[in-house]
């Protein structure tokens, strides 16, 4: 049974990273949006593998079900640019120069992270109850503040896109 978890991990990690790369590299914006949804799904799988099932399903509910659809909605409302329209500055000079140290740091960070050897500890019984206790007891006030933030974002979004005449 010892090879199953690493195998699942490798598959999910491949989905997440490939999805992320596709978001950046695909010329068509709808392709980017869909691969972002795929990456989010893989990430939900990784959460479930870590034993955080509740977080995993919230991930699916919020990221795949709401954010990806919202972004697709935005894509359709702003009109789909013809394929390749994004090419002109696809690897623009300044960004290229900025990317060199960024890639270096990224590779170093990834290699460094791989050297962590301790295994993940699993608690029995799922993460629903500890999570609920933490959010609604210890972190009740931040939770309420977060809800105010959401309300503010909703009102802000409506105010930004509302036309003057209706």
Partner 1 sequence: MLSVPLGWFIAVSSALFFIGAAGVLVRRNAVVILMCVELMLNAANLALVAFSRRLSDATPRGSVFVIFTFVIAAAEVAVGLAIVLAAYRNQPTVEVDEIHELKG
Partner 2 sequence: MSPPGVLVPGPFGIDPLVWVVLRLLIAVLLVVGLIFNGALLQILMERKLQAWAQDRVGPYHVGPWGLLQTFADALKLIGKEDVRSRFTDAAFFLTAPAITFTPMVAAWVVIPFAPGVQGIDINIGLLYLSSLGAMGVLGIVIAGWASNNKYSLIGGLRSAGQLISYEVPQILSLVTVVLLAGSLQLTKIATAQPGLQLNLFILPAAFLTYFIAALAETNRTPFDLPEAESELVAGYLTEYSGMRWGTFLALTEYGNVTIVSSIMTTLWLGGWNGPLVDQAPILGVLWFTLKVYVIIVAFMWIRLTLPRFRIDQLMNFCWKVLIPLTLTNLFVTATLKVALPAPWDLIAIGILNWGLVAAFIVLIPRLQRRRLERLRERLRTERERTLAPTA
CB of 71 to partner 2, least distance (A): 10
Tokens standing for residue 24: 């950046």
Binding mask 31-70 for partner 1 (x = CB under 8 A): -xx--x--xx--x--xx-xxxx-xx--xx--xx--xx--x
Site for partner 1 in 72-101 (CB under 8 A): 73-75, 77-79, 81, 85-86, 89-92, 95-96, 98-99
Q: How many CB atoms lie within 10 A of CB 38?
A: 18
Binding residues for partner 2, total number by CB under 8 A: 27
Binding site partner of 92, from partner 1, partner 2, none, Cβ cut-off 5-8 A by kind:
partner 1
* Cβ neighbours of residue 135 closer than 8 Å, sequence gap 6 or more: 143
Distance separating alpha carbons of residues 86 and 102, to the nearest angstrom: 22
Span from 4-12, 74-82, 112-120, 139-147 in contact with partner 2 (CB under 8 A): 74-82
- The pair phi, psi for residue 35, each rounded to 5°, is -70, -25
Distance separating alpha carbons of residues 59 and 63, to the nearest angstrom: 5
Given a contact cutoff of 8 angstroms between Cβ atoms, the answer to whether 87 and 27 are in contact is: yes
| Residues at the interface with partner 2 (CB under 8 A) | 30, 34, 37, 51, 53-54, 57-58, 60-61, 64-66, 68-70, 72-73, 75-77, 80, 122, 124-126, 128
């Amino acid at each position: 049974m010892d090879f199953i978890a690493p195998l699942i991990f490798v598959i999910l990690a491949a989905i997440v990273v490939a999805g992320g790369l596709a978001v950046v590299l695909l010329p068509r914006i709808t392709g980017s949006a869909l691969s972002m949804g795929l990456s989010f799904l893989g990430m939900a799988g990784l959460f479930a593998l870590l034993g955080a099932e509740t977080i995993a399903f919230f991930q699916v509910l919020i990221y795949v079900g709401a954010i990806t659809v919202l972004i697709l909605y935005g894509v359709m409302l702003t009109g789909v640019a013809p394929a390749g329209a994004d090419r002109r500055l696809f690897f623009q000079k300044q960004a290229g120069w900025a990317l060199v140290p960024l890639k270096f740091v990224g590779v170093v960070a990834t290699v460094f992270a791989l050297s962590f050897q301790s295994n993940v500890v699993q608690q029995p019984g799922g993460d629903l109850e500890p999570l609920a206790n933490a959010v609604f007891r210890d972190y009740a006030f931040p939770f309420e503040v977060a809800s105010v933030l959401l309300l503010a974002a909703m009102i802000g979004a409506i105010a930004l896109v509302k036309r003057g005449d209706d």
